[in-house]
Amino acid sequence: MRLCPRPSFFRIASLGRGGRRLARRLAIAAAFALVSPAPAATSFPDIPADYLRQAESIPDFWVSEVDAIERYLATQVKRGQVEIIGHTAGGRPIRAVSYGKPRQGRGTTTFSGSLGFFDVRAYLGPDYAKKVFVGMGGVHGGEFEGIVGVMNLISVLETGHDLRGKAWPGIVAARDRVDRIVLIPVVNVDGRARVPLRMEPYLGTDNRAHVYFNTGVWKDGKPIGWPTIKEFIPLDFSRTQFPGGYPNDAGVNIQHDDFLGDRQPETQALLDLVARERPDLMFNMHTGAPPKNYFVRMHRPATEAALLPTFDDLYRAVHTALTQAGLQSTKDVDLEAAPPKPGSPRMNLDTALNFHCGALAVLIEAPSHSFAGVDRAGEVAKHTPEMLVDAHLVAFEAGLTFLADRGGRAQWAPK
């Protein structure tokens, strides 16, 4: 059953370039015409009124709310397949969109068993040479940038253009060279539904509103903040004025779930998905760029040592592309694309995904649209919504191209 009538695209192909762009925007607007407004914060009546202000002018391409995402997936996805991969602790469906053909057949052993056998192909199965990518946003529901980035990537995979009408031929070319792409716009649907805004207003270098909605505040109004939010899993909502979008409705931060114990349903849905898909590469999109180098940054994962050389190459590829697009602090590729030094990365969701299915799973932090940090020179670095969409799509293009060029797990670390 369709949620609303399928919008007409007014014979887009027969229009001129400007007409096609206008028609596409009108079609997108029609798809969202019946979308409900942001949910009222009735469960959390003490949210300061100033924090409930939306951005004054919200662009059409900023698709971040749960209802709007569901509407778009139901009406605009034609090339891909939409499925519900699980439900949240609060009972909300988690939707994924897939493109291409999955691996056929199964391996003869577990991923761990394949490492003991010294041949990961025994786990990946007869289609071990296929190249499979999984991208996801909204593990933390108060971080809108990754959600918007994934939604614009879906638009590119569907139409060749993002939700602004900008063409991305490099992504289309990479799409056609990668066998399978699976995208999850919002993993923590509970957390996103809890945050009663579509888009926060830009507040200069003041991040208090963003912190409020992301990591939450205690009853007395003091920010819980990062990393304190990780001290309390599950978080007792009764101790908070607002719990933020980090946790699901059970109070659990999925990025730091009890992976080997009492797992949350969102985590289980991801583990089941990657066991089925056996991806080679995963991007986990977050908002949390370093404040003193406030640009998109990929973290070194706590992963198998055998994958670390591939991570270094991937990091160079993604950050070279971002630098060349003018989306890093400087134009110095050698500086910006130098992989982070090996340290002591901490176990998290990406570690669990790696050890469950063998994928190189990496976390990418973006700046926020709502406040600025500083660049390497200490100057204020503001990121517009347009820049943030560009940065996400540049990163996705670089990642997909890397996978297409370099092959997958069976080539990177076969033993």
- Give the pLDDT confidence of 105-152 residue by residue, as tens digits: 999 999 999 999 999 999 999 999 999 999 999 999 999 999 999 999
Q: Which of 252, 281, 231, 256 is nearest to 347 (CA)?
A: 256
What is the four-CA torsion angle of 50, 56, 61, 67, rounded to 10 degrees? 50
Q: How many CA atoms lie within 13 A of 39 on its CB side?
A: 16
Report the run of H or E that residue 359 belongs to, with start and end.
none
Q: Which of 74, 59, 64, 68 is nearest to 165 (CA)?
A: 59
Report, as an integer, the average pLDDT of 69-74.
98
Evaluate if residue 402 carries a pLDDT over 70.
Answer: yes
Give the phi and the psi of residue 286 in degrees, each rounded to 5. -130, 170
Q: Which amino acid is at 207?
A: N
The pLDDT assigned to 194 comes to 98
- Residue 279: pLDDT band (50, 70, 90) is very high
Rounded CA separation 308/2 (Å): 45
Paired strand residues for 183: 97, 135
- Residue 73 sits at the vertex; the CA angle it makes with 190 and 200, to the nearest 5 degrees, is 50
- Residue 215: pLDDT band (50, 70, 90) is very high
Evaluate if residue 180 carries a pLDDT over 50.
Answer: yes
Q: What confidence tens digit (pLDDT) does each residue in 6-46 have?
A: 333 223 333 455 555 555 555 555 554 443 333 444 589 99
Rounded CA separation 31/151 (Å): 14
Give the other-Cβ count within 10 Å of 414's Cβ: 14
Report, as an integer, the average pLDDT of 334-347.
92
Q: Which of 182, 229, 355, 375 is nearest to 297 (CA)?
A: 375
Report, as an integer, the average pLDDT of 91-103.
98
Rounded CA separation 169/408 (Å): 22
The pLDDT assigned to 360 comes to 98
Percentage of residues of the chain with pLDDT beyond 90: 88
Kindly give the pairing relationship between strand 281-287 and strand 240-242.
unpaired
Report, as an integer, the average pLDDT of 276-280.
98
What is the four-CA torsion angle of 102, 309, 297, 264, rounded to 10 degrees? 50
User: What helix, strand, coil percent values describe the chain, rounded to 5?
Assistant: 40, 15, 45
Q: Which residues of 124-160 are buried (b: 16+ CB within 10 A; e: fewer)?
A: bbebbebbbbbbbbbbbbbbbbbbbbbbbbbbbbbbe
The pLDDT assigned to 25 comes to 59
Q: How far is CA 165 from the centre of its chain?
A: 21
Indicate the average pLDDT of the chain: 92
Range from 20-34, 152-166, 207-221 carrying the lowest mean pLDDT: 20-34
The pLDDT assigned to 343 comes to 83
The pLDDT assigned to 366 comes to 98
Evaluate if residue 393 carries a pLDDT over 70.
Answer: yes
The pLDDT assigned to 87 comes to 98
Rounded CA separation 140/142 (Å): 6
Contacts made by residues 22-29, CB under 8 angstroms, sequence distance 24+:
24/159, 24/161, 24/165, 25/60, 25/165, 27/76, 28/60, 28/72, 28/76, 28/163, 29/60
Residue 195: Cβ-neighbour burial (10 angstroms; 0-12, 13-18, 19+) = buried
- DSSP-derived 3-state class of residue 38: coil
Report, as an integer, the average pLDDT of 217-243.
97
- Residue 91: pLDDT band (50, 70, 90) is very high
The full length of the chain comes to 415
Q: Which CATH architecture has domain 35-412?
A: 3-Layer(aba) Sandwich (3.40)
The pLDDT assigned to 5 comes to 34
Cis amide linkage into residue 234, ω under 30° from 0:
yes
